[in-house]
Amino acid sequence: MSLIISQLQDHIGTIVLDDPHRRNVLSKALVDEVMHAMEWFQKSKTRVLVLRAHSGAKVWSAGHDVRELPLPGRDPLAYNDPLITVLRGVQNTPMPVIAMIEGSVWGGACDLALSCDILIGCPTTSFCMTPAKIGVPYNASGILHFMNIMGANIVKEMFFTAKPLSAERAERVGILNHLVPVDGLEEFTYEMARNISRHSPLSISVIKEQIRLLSSAYPLNPLTFERIQGLRRLVYDSTDYTEGIQAFLEKRSPVFTGV
């Protein structure tokens, strides 16, 4: 059974996340389908891609599949992790990707949404960054990604409190490009997609790649990188990491001790 729906019309591709029973969690199976669809769209000369959930969705995506996180002692967000793979896929595809967001966005799905080139939301949209709820150390590239889009203090608040950011505030801090009524969300999104599709796809793809390269043009020296990795390992080697995942699976509140 497919976990996404993909379609192409007038050079505009659409990927609909279609695993509502699991709140469109970014499992390896779903990510594999998204990656294959993006590859097909790219070969088909698609000019714009819209990433969305079904109309009326309460959750756009629940983020990383916690059941697929590794045991303690292994990096939970390593290079080939499904979440990191799909983030790279969206960031590196030459097509502009528009996130049409209805409903709440949790955890790593926030990073997926922010990896899209344009975000369009509605009053039901919210963003909640949840790694601290389950004791997961987020990776350096992901945190830098958030910092490139909004101020460091907003990033700290999102990660420290794990409380939802409303659609109105998300627009104010620069996460959402546009905030439109629910009943006009689809029309507004696809009108923007049609507008983009009329322009030079080569010019747009080159500009997108330039922006990606320039936004990541902040080199870390080897000592800093090693320090960051060492800090993250303190977390994924900890009893808090084990407790956070166990509590999630048992559907209870975790009891963190800081060790």
CATH superfamily of 1-183+197-259: 2-enoyl-CoA Hydratase; Chain A, domain 1 (3.90.226.10)
DSSP secondary structure string for all residues of 167-197:
HHHHHHTTS-SEE--GGGHHHHHHHHHHHHH
**What are the distances in angstroms from CA 12 to CA 6, 9, 97, 132, 240?**
11, 5, 10, 37, 45
Segments making up each domain of the chain, as ranges: 1-183+197-259
Q: What is the pLDDT of residues 157-216, one digit of tens each?
A: 999 999 999 999 999 999 999 999 999 999 999 999 999 999 999 999 999 999 999 987
Classify strands 12-17 and 104-106 as parallel, antiparallel or unpaired: unpaired
Q: In this structure, what DSSP letter does residue 106 have? A: E
Asked if 116 contacts 98 with a C-beta cutoff of 8 angstroms, the reply is yes
Per-residue pLDDT of the chain (259 residues; tens, 9 = 90+): 899 999 999 999 999 999 999 999 999 999 999 999 999 999 999 999 999 999 999 999 999 998 888 777 788 888 889 999 999 999 999 999 999 999 999 999 999 999 999 999 999 999 999 999 989 999 888 898 899 899 899 999 999 999 999 999 999 999 999 999 999 999 999 999 999 999 999 999 999 999 999 987 777 777 887 888 898 988 999 999 899 989 988 999 999 998 8
Active site residues: 64, 108, 138
DSSP secondary structure string for all residues of 237-251:
TSHHHHHHHHHHHHT
